[in-house]
Structure 1
Amino acid sequence: MRDRVGQVRVVAVVAAVVLALLGACTGSPQPPGPQRPTEPVAPLGQALAAALTEGSLADVPVDDPERAAAGLTEILRGMDGLRPEVTAGQARPAGEMVDVPLHLVWQLGTQQWTYDTVATFQPQAGAWVLRWDPTVLHPELTATTRLVHQREAAKRGRILGADNIPLADLLPVVRLGIDKSRMDADASTASAARLAQTLDLDVERYVARVRAAGEKAFVEAIVLRGRGEGVPDEFYDIPGALLLRDEWVLSTRRGRAEAVIGTVGDATAERVAESEGRIVGGDRVGLTGLQLRYDEQLRGVAGHTVSLASRGPANTPGASPSPSAPEASPSTSTEPRPLVLVDPRPGTDLVVSLDAVLQDRAEAVIAEHPSATAMAVVQPSTGAVLVLATNPAAEGQALANTGRFPPGSTFKVATALALLRAGMTAETALECSEFITVHGRRFKNYTDFPRDRLGTMTLRDAIATSCNTALISQHARLDGPQLREAAASLGVGVDHDSGFPAFYGSVPDPVDLVGLAAAEIGQGTVEASPMAMAGLTASVATGRTVVPWLVESAEKPTPSGKPLTAGEAAALQSMMRAVVTSGTGRTLSSVAVGAKSGTAEYGTENPPRTHAWMIAYTDDDLAVAVMIHDGQSGSGDAAPLIKEFLA
């Protein structure tokens, strides 16, 4: 009996042990885990990609929205507004969670920085939510680090002239202005007025700019070349006046070819918006002239660095560590570590044909003339533009290459070519009368035409003396197309895109015989720039069509006019030679082989106002044109300037 009871007890103990083991294997009843959401994760991955591209998690369900929003803001605050383009891949299970691979592309100027990360979604309250982790933005980010972008502007290319002499380069300057952070508002106004008076600026305008600027702003008044040698002593006594040293791209000599070369300055908001990220606020870009036309080439490509840097103090918003984010190492939290480097690519120099010595000489010759004056010089043998000069009275307008003016009697060279092609020779006799009437319109010679030269003369003498009536008397021999073709043979009246702002002239068909008569003497609707007329002069000098060009790398313009024959060239050369031997250009006989004067009427005043022209070529490969706005006569006003230039 006792044995049986003992056996029962043993069985009971064994059963208890077995039950205990079974309980240990199956587990005691536990609270149910998070229910796996039924909705797909893919749409959330797409939403996250769009949200990161926009830089906001507002539309994405997150485990800790406040921490995630603060963390994202902190990570991106040093990225200068850059945002990645993010695309989501195929979601894949990861235990109770789901991973979504992300592909990030950052546009750094013209180059891209790309890499992959993973976003994890976890169940929460019956739905999928993003498990926030800084590694969503970059695999090496932690709860205490962020991304920092630095942009390095490229060194701007130079503009080089003949013999690679720099015409525009990076030069030292000083920027003078008022630093409002050094004083209160009332004091800054008084200092602004003193500074404007000291620098001879518009006091009212500068004071208004200082008042409108922020309380900590530096308000620039003027930029001076050099390292401060020309700063007035009074400047240093003005409270709040500040001198900042800098470098700017400038003409290597003040004013040298500035209307053509152009200027460089701060990019406008419009330029920034149009650049698709290539230009940012604060960049210096070409504003006018060649600096604008070739800005992309000269500006180069900026460099970029993105570094892993410390967020700062440990209590930075959003910096509390996530379960999988390791703490930043001491080196990461103190020294930024580059993740990607894109070196800047310097701008490429622009080479032009301007000759610095001749350009300086031309500008010095015309500088003091009270009226707007322009001079252009072309090399007949090559067509290279050697000089494009304007004086201060031109107020920065590129009149030498873009001016549109009636060329007056200088255009008679083209008319003479048209008459040669119509059957005349340099010896053909013409009648030079005091007046001539065409369809009711009376034409006359220029005011000082010598009366003793009236009467019968050759075509050569008509060009030499610049007799209007002699040429107009032959209007029945010509029509508009003939005149236009002759001009094109001398490089005038045909447009070309030769890589720089240029007006090659316009010779439209006249509407009637009166218009044709006016066109024959360079009036009416005929227009040209000094450069175009220098090209005409070069064509006569070399005996072939010359179309001026300036930029070495640009495609050279191709002549489209009927080629000059040897006989035509010789006849035109004899006519222009007669101008300096016995005609209106005798003052140039010591410096020029051939020339032609011109006076062009314009406007509606009575008597009309006039432009003064003179063109000339030499035996040492120079063709020159000068135009004086509001000049009295080519021989009296323009010729002396050419003589001084060529002497």
Structure 2
Amino acid sequence: MRRRTSCALTVLLTPAVLAAAAACTGPERPAPDETAQALADGLARQDLSALTLVSDTSALPEQHLIEVVEPLLAAAEETGAASSVEVAEVVEAETAEDEPPRAAVTLAWSWPLAPGHTWDYTTDTELVWAPPPEDSEETGTWEVQWQHDLVAPDLAGGERLELESLEPDRGDLLDIHGERLVTERDVWRIGIDKTYLEPPRYAEQSEALAELVGLDPAAYADRVASAGEKAYVLAITIRQDEATSGVSFTADDARAIDGVNVLADTMELAPTSSFARSVLGRAGEATAEIIEQSDGAVEQGDVVGISGLQRQYDAALTGSEGLAVHVVDGDGEVVRDAYRVEAVDGADVATTFEPDLQILAEEVLSDVEPASAIVAVRPSTGEVLAAASGPGGEGWSTATLGQYAPGSTFKVATALSLMRAGVFPEDEVTCPTSVTVDGRTYENVPGYPQDATGAVSLRTAFAHSCNTAMIGEGAEVRQADLAAAAVDLGLGAASSVGAPAFLGEVPTEASATGHAEALIGQGAVLASPLGMATVAASVAAGERVEPVLVRPVEDDGAADDGAADDGGTDDGGTGASPSASASPDASPDASADTAEEPEPAGSAGGLTQTEAADLHDLMGAVVAEGSASALADVPGVTGAKTGTAQYGDGSRQHAWMLAIADDLAVAVFVEDGEYGSTTAGPLMGRFLTGR
């Protein structure tokens, strides 16, 4: 049975009337375009009351329309963009004299379903002219032939639409070997399940669990008490692998406490609980701040980068969501897809970390109380193999972001500036017990060997770290030339590290006392452990090394956009792999590779191999006869430099040591120590011996 619905009177037409209608022309039969536009407008508003509809289905057209488009409307509303129905084409057909006039109408639909996903398609229907009854003053009307597939392509009776977001797999952080560094690992989620306890025992058992896992007992008990009566209140998440869990208790210890529920889960984690944590950062459920800043791209429950490289490269690691519009039958079973764009999985981000070296460095620093760091760079490539920050830094990346006076380790740059001024390793310099500049007196460190004072070679002065010789000889070196020498060694030079990093800072102008302090790595001279490891690496490489910690993510070309056969389109982009460029707000101000200041200028010719060989020779003397003689028996060590830098009121000292061993340049730093040789030296020895 065909059904007509209209707010106006509709009658069945006799053959005689049809013949008369076929003969109608001129103003008595308006063009179908106006009705076609009214149809498009009504479909867009989900209001068909202004139309005359003819249907051979039992479904009411307007009800059917609303049921089909309801999920599409909801999705479009969330995007904040407007959906549309437009008249694409109206073509009047040639009909026989005994047939009513007809017009074919093509409608263009557009549904913005999610950011980057707009479903565009067309549907067709027919308008049939129904003239007014004989002797009637009415003008007649174009009737719309209603079918299920007028709303969506190929839709049959009883079928509806459902939307599904297709989630991408998050990319992994990789190590230098291309192995997964941060990936899904098994964890235990440990907490109080209030359904396991009677209310009088909530406080006692909550406090017992808190004491086991290291939480404030009263605060956790309050959280449990304020949660719903059937709530599960998480206390801590630990790794299932006890060897890398980083805690002193096990899941079984927690299970032994009444009321505790231990749930198995997975999390994106590094090989150990401390592994480069301040650099890699973490991924987890989006915070309220991240959701607010995303302009709707991130929703509650989404896993995103929270900090570190996970945050900086979040767009690349996350990938992009796909979307499917399913056609479902009356039982809710998916029959086919009307539109589908597959998710693009996140790209892997390759770091240069050598896991064994990073873990070793962290083990060496594990019991150092002040802020500390060990950085290892491969001179031949600039790859940062380890960037470990000790627990004393309280989560700060001391290794890459620390800004400290480098003390006598900076004398590598001072020696380079002296050689450029004509003072070479075998040349004689004077190392007095003290030297005065503009009324300020400088001395050597306590315990400086007496036999290395007076007239000695630059090699001897460097080996024992004579402050007075460097200040005295350096008086003839311009501050700008000292700064240029530092840049030629990589200290303060711009470099595409790929992660937030501070390499160093050396002023190009200074007063007489400021210049004297700069010559011995104090005053306004600043460096990070990464910066000083780069200095050692440049000496070993024979040219300025540019350290790199993250390699660029490669674009793998166009991906399958998964467009449906109906011509659905994805307006989200080209299908290329996501870019791994850093978010604008991902790097702190200390990032040398994102700062907008001009690149510090080195010398015109840069570091030469001859200069580097002489510097390597000087560093070799530090091991053979000077302050790093403790490294003489460590295999592969060919050079080193110790450093001590007073800070604050002068009663506290930074302790440093640099070393070159085979194709490895290492910097060790301790914020509060005795001397470079006595505080940093043993740590360097343990690291190089254990590598």
- TM-score norm. by structure 1 comes to 0.78
Say yes or no: does 1:445 pair with 2:450: no
Trace 1:126-165 onto structure 2 (pairs within 5 A).
138=152, 147-165=161-179
Partner SS for 2:269 = strand
Q: 2: distance between equivalents of 1:432 and 1:93?
A: 101
Trace 1:67-106 onto structure 2 (pairs within 5 A).
71=67, 75=71, 82=78, 85-90=82-87, 101-106=107-112
1:288 to partner: Cα distance: 1.9
The one-letter amino acid of 2:209's match is: L
Q: 2: distance between equivalents of 1:347 and 1:360?
A: 27
Query: Is the Cα contact below 8 Å between 2:208 and 2:257 reproduced in 1?
Result: no
Partner SS for 1:164 = coil
1:183 to partner: Cα distance: 7.6
* Equivalence for 2:519: 520
Q: 1: distance between equivalents of 2:289 and 2:336?
A: 32
Query: Is the Cα contact below 8 Å between 1:171 and 1:248 reproduced in 2?
Result: yes
Go from structure 1 to structure 2 and tell me whether the alpha carbon gap of 1:233 and 1:643 turns closer, same or farther (over 3 Å shift): closer
1:573 to partner: Cα distance: 1.7
The one-letter amino acid of 2:250's match is: G
1:185 to partner: Cα distance: 7.9
Partner SS for 1:413 = helix
1:336 to partner: Cα distance: 3.4
Trace 1:248-259 onto structure 2 (pairs within 5 A).
248-259=267-278
Range with bigger deviation, 438-447 or 100-109: 100-109
Go from structure 1 to structure 2 and tell me whether the alpha carbon gap of 1:73 and 1:189 turns closer, same or farther (over 3 Å shift): farther
1:279-309: CA deviation from partner (whole Å, max 9, x where unpaired):
3321211222222222222222333333244
Q: 1: distance between equivalents of 2:670 and 2:663?
A: 24
Q: 2: distance between equivalents of 1:614 and 1:475?
A: 22
1:447 to partner: Cα distance: 3.0
1:211 to partner: Cα distance: 5.5
1:407-448: CA deviation from partner (whole Å, max 9, x where unpaired):
111001101100111121123322222322222222222233
1:458-497: CA deviation from partner (whole Å, max 9, x where unpaired):
2222211111111111343122210111011111111223
Say yes or no: does 1:170 pair with 2:190: no
1:111 to partner: Cα distance: 4.2
Say yes or no: does 1:238 pair with 2:236: no
Q: Which has the larger radius of gyration?
A: 1
Go from structure 1 to structure 2 and tell me whether the alpha carbon gap of 1:40 and 1:304 turns closer, same or farther (over 3 Å shift): closer
Q: 1: distance between equivalents of 2:437 and 2:269?
A: 53
Query: Is the Cα contact below 8 Å between 1:195 and 1:238 reproduced in 2?
Result: no
Which of residues 205, 208, 220 is equivalent to 2:234?
Answer: 220
Go from structure 1 to structure 2 and tell me whether the alpha carbon gap of 1:237 and 1:411 turns closer, same or farther (over 3 Å shift): closer
* Equivalence for 2:616: 573
- TM-score norm. by structure 2 comes to 0.73
Range with bigger deviation, 72-81 or 543-552: 72-81
Say yes or no: does 1:362 pair with 2:348: no
Aligned residues with identical type, % of pairs: 36
* Equivalence for 1:332: 330
* Equivalence for 1:205: 219
Go from structure 1 to structure 2 and tell me whether the alpha carbon gap of 1:441 and 1:99 turns closer, same or farther (over 3 Å shift): farther
Query: Is the Cα contact below 8 Å between 2:105 and 2:126 reproduced in 1?
Result: yes
Q: How many residues align?
A: 586
* Equivalence for 1:610: 653
Say yes or no: does 1:394 pair with 2:408: no
The one-letter amino acid of 2:647's match is: Y
Say yes or no: does 1:639 pair with 2:681: yes
Q: 2: distance between equivalents of 1:256 and 1:601?
A: 30
The one-letter amino acid of 2:163's match is: H
Say yes or no: does 1:627 pair with 2:673: no
Q: 1: distance between equivalents of 2:654 and 2:51?
A: 77
1:372 to partner: Cα distance: 1.7
Q: 2: distance between equivalents of 1:77 and 1:180?
A: 41
1:163-221: CA deviation from partner (whole Å, max 9, x where unpaired):
33332111111222345677898876665444323422123433454456566654332
Go from structure 1 to structure 2 and tell me whether the alpha carbon gap of 1:246 and 1:131 turns closer, same or farther (over 3 Å shift): farther
Range with bigger deviation, 180-189 or 622-631: 180-189
1:537-584: CA deviation from partner (whole Å, max 9, x where unpaired):
1111232211211223379x9997432234322321221111111111
* Equivalence for 1:478: 477
1:533 to partner: Cα distance: 0.9
Query: Is the Cα contact below 8 Å between 1:166 and 1:252 reproduced in 2?
Result: no
Q: 1: distance between equivalents of 2:82 and 2:225?
A: 42
Go from structure 1 to structure 2 and tell me whether the alpha carbon gap of 1:175 and 1:135 turns closer, same or farther (over 3 Å shift): farther
1:334 to partner: Cα distance: 3.5
The one-letter amino acid of 2:282's match is: T
Go from structure 1 to structure 2 and tell me whether the alpha carbon gap of 1:49 and 1:355 turns closer, same or farther (over 3 Å shift): farther
* Equivalence for 1:113: 119
Trace 1:273-284 onto structure 2 (pairs within 5 A).
273-275=292-294, 278-284=297-303
Query: Is the Cα contact below 8 Å between 2:321 and 2:343 reproduced in 1?
Result: yes
1:108-131: CA deviation from partner (whole Å, max 9, x where unpaired):
45444322358999xxxx9x9x99
1:134 to partner: Cα distance: 8.9
Go from structure 1 to structure 2 and tell me whether the alpha carbon gap of 1:344 and 1:216 turns closer, same or farther (over 3 Å shift): farther
Give unmatched runs, 5+ long, in structure 1: 1-22, 28-35, 52-56, 310-330
Partner SS for 1:377 = strand
Range with bigger deviation, 299-308 or 397-406: 299-308
* Equivalence for 2:496: 497
Q: 2: distance between equivalents of 1:297 and 1:401?
A: 23
* Equivalence for 2:627: 584
Go from structure 1 to structure 2 and tell me whether the alpha carbon gap of 1:212 and 1:119 turns closer, same or farther (over 3 Å shift): farther
Partner SS for 1:594 = strand
* Equivalence for 2:641: 596
Go from structure 1 to structure 2 and tell me whether the alpha carbon gap of 1:50 and 1:600 turns closer, same or farther (over 3 Å shift): farther
